[in-house]
Structure 1
Amino acid sequence: MGDLEIRPAVAEDIPAIVAMLADDPLGAQRESPDDLSPYGPAFERLAQDPNQHLTVAVREGRVIGTLQLTVIPGLSRKGATRSIIEAVRVHADERGSGLGTQLIEWAVAESRRLGCHLVQLTSDASRTDAHRFYERLGFTASHVGFKRQL
Structure 2
Amino acid sequence: MTKMALGTHPFLLGFEQLERLVERTAKTGNDGYPPYNIEQTSETSYRITLAVAGFAEDDLAITLEDNQLVVRGRQTDDMGERVFLHRGIAGRQFQKSFVLADGVDVGEAVMENGLLHVDLNRAVPESVVQTIAIKKG
TM-score w.r.t. the length of structure 1 is: 0.25
**Looking at CA atoms only, which structure, 1 or 2, has the larger radius of gyration?**
2
Q: Which has the higher strand share?
A: 2
Higher RCO (CA < 8 A, seq sep 6+): 2
- TM-score, normalised relative to structure 2: 0.27
Bigger helix share: 1
